[in-house]
């Protein structure tokens, strides 16, 4: 769900949305809401080991994706379908439908399911892991991912260079406010550093789909602990969670090591999951689907040059 600025309003109106006549087609926001709540049902089915029921829910999600209107980007649809196909592979493998499970898995990888860490730990697929088609799909997926990452890194670095030459995306960006759990945060206190800001909210949906960028900042904060880099979250509470319980649970579940500022939905900027603020305090990059390789390249481009030894 990428259109963060509108999500708070949309989720506040979910009950009314559900009571209206269902539209024939969906825009990205409407489709996101439907898919995310559907994903919650899929998770419940898996927890109950009701794999046939999970397949029914997943088939319904495929039908929803087929009702996307022309404004929904194909790449976005592909990635959402990839997650659905992956879960279908898991359900079919649990049901002993090996051939069908492999076919779903191969299609998921073709569509862009490249979460190799999750895949390596997922016991749902153990019965098909040694199949030649499975192994070949993983190899092909990793090769396709490497090409995409190379292109993404080049594009991100070019965007930062353009921002430095022509002007920032946001010159007067200011993040300050109460921290989740107490205390205050002020971006101004981190002048002279590169600051990564993860923008998010707490939802009932799957964090694997919605929030893959959150743990990345833990990794980068550790990798650059001796460099002028800081990380923070900017999160808002959805309607139905006025006390922030869902938000607190999400932060604890994902084991975030950085401070999280509680903001209003209208304080989320540039419809992006992650902002990169340069040492001058201006936003130099806004990434919708950040990857660690891209973030490292952007960080290296923006880190202030180290003073020569002896000065």
The CATH number of the domain holding residue 122 is 1.25.40
Query: Tokens in use for 190?
Result: 């981190």
Same domain, 108 and 225: no
Same domain, 140 and 226: no
Domain presence at residue 157: no
Domain presence at residue 39: yes
Residue 241: what pLDDT?
Answer: 77
Same domain, 118 and 186: no
Domain presence at residue 80: yes
Domain presence at residue 158: no
For 170, phi then psi, to 5°, come to -140, 120
For 136, phi then psi, to 5°, come to -65, -40
Query: What gap in Å lies between CA 48 and CA 91, rounded to an integer?
Result: 12
Question: Of the candidates 146, 177, 208, which is a domain's last residue?
Answer: 146
Residue 203: what pLDDT?
Answer: 63
Full domain range(s) for residue 181: 168-302
Which distant-in-sequence residues (6+ apart) come within 8 Å of 260 by Cβ? Answer: 179, 180, 181, 232, 233, 234, 235, 247, 251
Same domain, 214 and 96: no
Same domain, 11 and 82: yes
**What total of structural domains would you count in the chain?**
2
Same domain, 275 and 191: yes
Same domain, 214 and 89: no
Question: Of the candidates 112, 146, 180, which is a domain's last residue?
Answer: 146
First to last CA, the chain: 48
Residue 236: what pLDDT?
Answer: 87
What is the reported pTM? Answer: 0.74
Say if residues 51 and 95 touch (Cβ distance below 8 Å): yes
Same domain, 195 and 139: no
Residue 270: what pLDDT?
Answer: 83
Kindly report the number of other CB atoms within 10 A of residue 176's CB atom: 13
Same domain, 138 and 178: no
Same domain, 184 and 256: yes
Domain presence at residue 86: yes
Predicted confidence pLDDT, tens digits, the chain (311 residues): 222 333 333 333 343 334 444 567 888 878 888 888 888 899 999 999 999 999 999 999 999 999 998 999 999 899 999 999 999 999 999 999 999 999 999 999 999 999 999 999 999 999 999 999 999 999 999 999 999 999 999 999 999 999 999 999 999 899 999 999 899 999 999 999 999 999 988 765 545 546 778 999 999 999 999 999 999 999 988 777 788 888 888 888 889 999 999 998 888 888 788 999 999 999 999 998 788 999 999 999 999 987 454 44
Query: Residue 243: which CATH number?
Result: 3.40.30.10
Query: What gap in Å lies between CA 286 and CA 173, rounded to an integer?
Result: 12
Residue 6: what pLDDT?
Answer: 33
Residue 119: what pLDDT?
Answer: 96
Domain presence at residue 49: yes
170: which DSSP letter? B
Same domain, 100 and 132: yes
Same domain, 139 and 172: no
Residue 23: what pLDDT?
Answer: 64
For 179, phi then psi, to 5°, come to -90, 145
């Amino acid at each position: 769900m990428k259109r963060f600025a509108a999500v708070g309003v949309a989720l506040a109106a979910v009950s009314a949305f559900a009571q209206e006549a269902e539209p024939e087609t969906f825009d990205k926001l409407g489709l996101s809401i439907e898919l995310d709540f559907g994903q919650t049902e899929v998770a419940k089915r898996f927890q109950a080991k009701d794999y046939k029921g999970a397949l029914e829910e997943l088939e319904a999600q495929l039908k929803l994706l087929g009702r996307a209107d022309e404004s929904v980007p194909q790449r976005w649809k592909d990635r959402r379908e990839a997650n659905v196909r992956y879960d279908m592979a898991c359900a079919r493998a649990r049901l002993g439908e090996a051939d069908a499970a492999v076919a779903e898995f191969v299609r998921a990888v073709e569509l862009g399911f490249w979460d190799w860490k999750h895949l390596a730990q997922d016991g749902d697929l153990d019965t098909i892991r040694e199949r030649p088609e499975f192994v070949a799909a993983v190899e092909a997926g990793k090769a396709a991912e490497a090409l995409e990452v190379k292109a993404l890194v080049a594009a991100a670095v070019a965007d930062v260079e353009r921002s430095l030459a022509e002007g920032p995306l946001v010159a007067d960006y200011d993040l300050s406010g109460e921290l989740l759990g107490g205390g205050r945060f002020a971006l101004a206190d981190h002048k002279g550093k590169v600051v990564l800001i993860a923008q998010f909210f707490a939802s009932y949906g799957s964090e694997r789909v919605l929030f893959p960028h959150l743990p990345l900042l833990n990794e980068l904060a550790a990798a650059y602990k001796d460099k002028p880099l800081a990380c923070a979250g900017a999160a808002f509470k959805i309607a139905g969670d006025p006390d922030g319980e869902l938000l607190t649970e999400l932060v604890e579940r994902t084991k975030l090591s950085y401070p999280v500022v509680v903001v209003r939905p209208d304080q989320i900027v540039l419809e992006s999951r992650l902002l990169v603020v340069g040492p001058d305090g201006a936003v130099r990059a806004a990434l919708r689907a950040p990857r660690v390789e891209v973030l490292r390249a952007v960080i290296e481009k923006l880190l202030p040059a180290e003073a020569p030894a002896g000065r």
